[in-house]
Structure 1
C-alpha cells in the first residue's frame, strides 16, 4: 500500500466502533505474532549465527523463504536459516508459536492448547515436545554446599505406542510386581539449598551406584555435602568418589538433625517431588519416553523461573548450531 493510502486508512481508525476495532485487532493478530517471533528468532541467533553444517562464521544473505532470512555459507556453500538444525526447523504456523508458548507456561493440556490456538491436537502434541526438547538440558552446571538427593518412582507407561512389550493395563493400572521393580521408572532429583536442581530418568527399577556416577557425579561440587535417605546406594557412591555424605533415616522417624555444616534433611528435594507429582497429575499419565521433557518443563516453571514466552523461546534454542 502506498504511503498516502495508508495515511488515509489510518486516519479513519478513530471512527471505528468497539466491534469494528475488535475485528481489526483479530485480523492483525496473526501478522503481529509472526513479526514478533521472526524478530525474536533474529535477535536470539544474531550473535552466534554460523553454518550448521561446517560451523563457519562467514556467510552472506541469500534471499528469504518461509518468512525467514536465508544465508549461504562462504566456506561450504550450503544455505540455511536460523532454524536449520534445530528442533524448531520446518515447524509451520510461526504466527501461533508465542500463543502456544503462553499455553505451555500455563501448563495447559494438549487438547486445551490446541483449542486455544486453533490447531489440531496432534500438532499441539508435536509442538510440545519440539519446544521442550532443549528445555530439559537447561540445568545448572554445579550443585554446591549442602546437596539433597533422593529418588522417586512412577509407573512406567507406553502411552501412545502401537506395540507394547507387556500386556496392556486398564486406565494405567498397577505394577504387576510389588515394591520397586522393573515396572517403575526411577527419577533421581538432586537440589542444593540455593534451589539449583538437576534431575534424570535413570532407568527402570532400583537406583544403582553406576547411575549416580553417570548423572549426579558430573554436577556435584567436590566440596559439597551430599545428604540423602538411608538407601545403601548413596554411601557406596560417596565412598567410591571421596564425597562427604550424611544420611537421614526417615523410616526410623528422623526428619531433621543439626550438624556443624547446617540442618541435615531432605525436605527440599521431597517437596520438589511432591510438586512435580501434583503438577504431572493434570496430564492423566505421560509416556515414559517423554518423561525427561516433563521434568524439564516442571523445572522451567518451578518457582516462576521462566515467566515469559520470550525467555522460553530462548531456552528452546539453547546452544543449537554450535
Structure 2
C-alpha cells in the first residue's frame, strides 16, 4: 500500500504534495486525539490517586471518573494538552515536530501561527508532559551509579514586569559568564547521575556547593545496596548512608585517572551541548529543560520513533502547572539575593 501511495505522489505538483503532507499530519493528529478520548487514565490528574470509579458521561459521550482520593470528577482529557488548549491537535502535532527538529521558539511560533508567548507556554507544557513520561531509573544491589554535580551559571532571564523579584544585579551580556573562580554562589548545581544499565537522573540541587538537605533531595530514589561512585565532596559521605547506601567510592577529581566518573562526566558534556543553543536557560525553568534532556536521552536509547512517541504522549499526557501557577512561580534560590540586598542596605 505504501509503495502505491508513493508512486501516485510522483505525479503531483509541489503544492499538491505539501497539501497532502498537511492533510496526513492532520489525520494523524485526529487519530491521536481519538486515542486520548478512549484511553482509560492511569491515575487522577489532580492528586495522582489510582483509585477511581466510573461516574457518568460528558456531553460528548466520553467517560467520566470519580476519584476516591480528592473526591473530584475527571475524564481522560482533564488537565490534558488537547483539552485545556484552544489550539487543535494538528497545531500541537506541528509544534511537537518543530520542537524535536531543533526549531527556536520564534520558528515554532511561525510554524504554528501563534504568538511568541504562546509558543513559550506550549514548550513549558510539552516539557511537563515529557517529565511525566520519563521511565523510572533502576537501583539496587546489582546496579552501580556514578553521581556528580554540574555547575551552571545562574540565569535571571525573563519578564519581571509582574514579578516581585526584581533584577538584583546588572544583566550579563550575550556570551558573558560568571568569572568567579571555583564553585561560586552565582552558579547553580545540577546533580547528575548515570548507572551501568543506561538510566540517568538530572535534578536542580542548590546554589553553589549543595547543602546536605538539597543533596539528599537530589539523589533520593537510590535504594539500599546500590553501589555509588562520587567525587570527594564530603556531603556524599553524610547523605548516602542516610539513604541506606553502604557501598560508596569517593575519588578526588584531581586523582581520577581510570574513568571513575566517566559516564556522568560524559552526561555533563551532553547536557551542556543540549543547553547551548538556548543561550542561557532561566534558572526558574531549568527543571523543565532537564526533563526535556532526560526524555531525549531515553529516546536516544529506544528503538521507537521519537516524533511518534512524543506525539502520542502529548495526546494522552497531562500537564502539571496552570498558566497562573507558571506566572506566579517564585524564582528559586532567591534568599541569596535578599541577603545581599539586606547587607548592602546595612552598609549604606
**Structure 2 length-normalised TM:** 0.72
2:102 paired with 1:107: yes
C-alpha displacement of 1:196 = 0.6
Q: Per the alignment, in what secondary structure is the counterpart of residue 59 of structure 2?
A: strand
Match for residue 245 of structure 1 among 222, 245, 248: 248
Q: CA RMSD in A?
A: 3.4
Number of the residue aligned with 2:139: 143
Contact residue 184 and residue 208 of structure 2 kept, 8 A: yes
Q: CA deviation at 1:33?
A: 4.5
Aligned equivalents of 2:211 and 2:112: distance in 1? 44
Deviation track 1:124-161 (CA, whole Å, cap 9, x = no partner) reads 21111101114234242433421100000111111113
* Pair member with larger Rg: 1
Check 1:312–1:74 CA distance in 2 against 1; reply closer, same or farther (3 A cut).
Answer: closer
Quote how far apart the aligned CAs of 1:278 are. Answer: 0.8
The CA distance in 2 between the partners of 1:315 and 1:115, in whole Å, is 23
Matched with 1:195 is 198
Query: Partners of 1:78 and 1:231 in 2: how far apart?
Result: 46
- Say if 1:110 and 1:38 are closer, same or farther in 2 by CA, change over 3 A: same
User: In the aligned structure 2, how far is the partner of 1:73 from the partner of 1:190?
Assistant: 38
* Alpha-carbon shift at residue 296 of structure 1 (Å): 1.1
CA distance in 1, matches of 2:269, 2:43: 41
How many matched pairs? 293
Distance 1:52 1:265, change over 3 A: closer
Secondary structure of residue in 2 paired with 1:63 = coil
Contact 1:225 1:244 in 2 (8 A): yes
Superposition pairs for residues 137-216 of structure 1, below 5 Å? 137=132, 138-144=134-140, 145-162=143-160, 163-171=166-174, 173-175=176-178, 177-216=180-219
Q: Structure 1's 168 and 88: CA in aligned 2 closer, same or farther, altered over 3 A?
A: farther
Query: Do the aligned partners of 1:50 and 1:57 also contact (CA within 8 Å) in 2?
Result: no
- Deviation string 1:13-37 (CA, Å, 9 cap, x unpaired) is x9x9623743752673564254123
Q: Is the 8 A contact 1:175 1:183 kept in 2?
A: yes
Q: Structure 1: where are the runs of 5+ without partners?
A: 1-13, 257-263
Offset of residue 47 of structure 1? 5.4
- Summarize the alignment of residues 220-239 of structure 1 with structure 2, pairs less than 5 Å apart: 220-239=222-241
Specify the alignment match of 1:94 in structure 2. Answer: 89
- Check the 8 A contact 1:59/1:71 in 2, yes or no: yes
CA distances 1:37-69 after superposition (whole Å, capped 9, x unpaired)? 3123235x33548796996421333323xxxx6
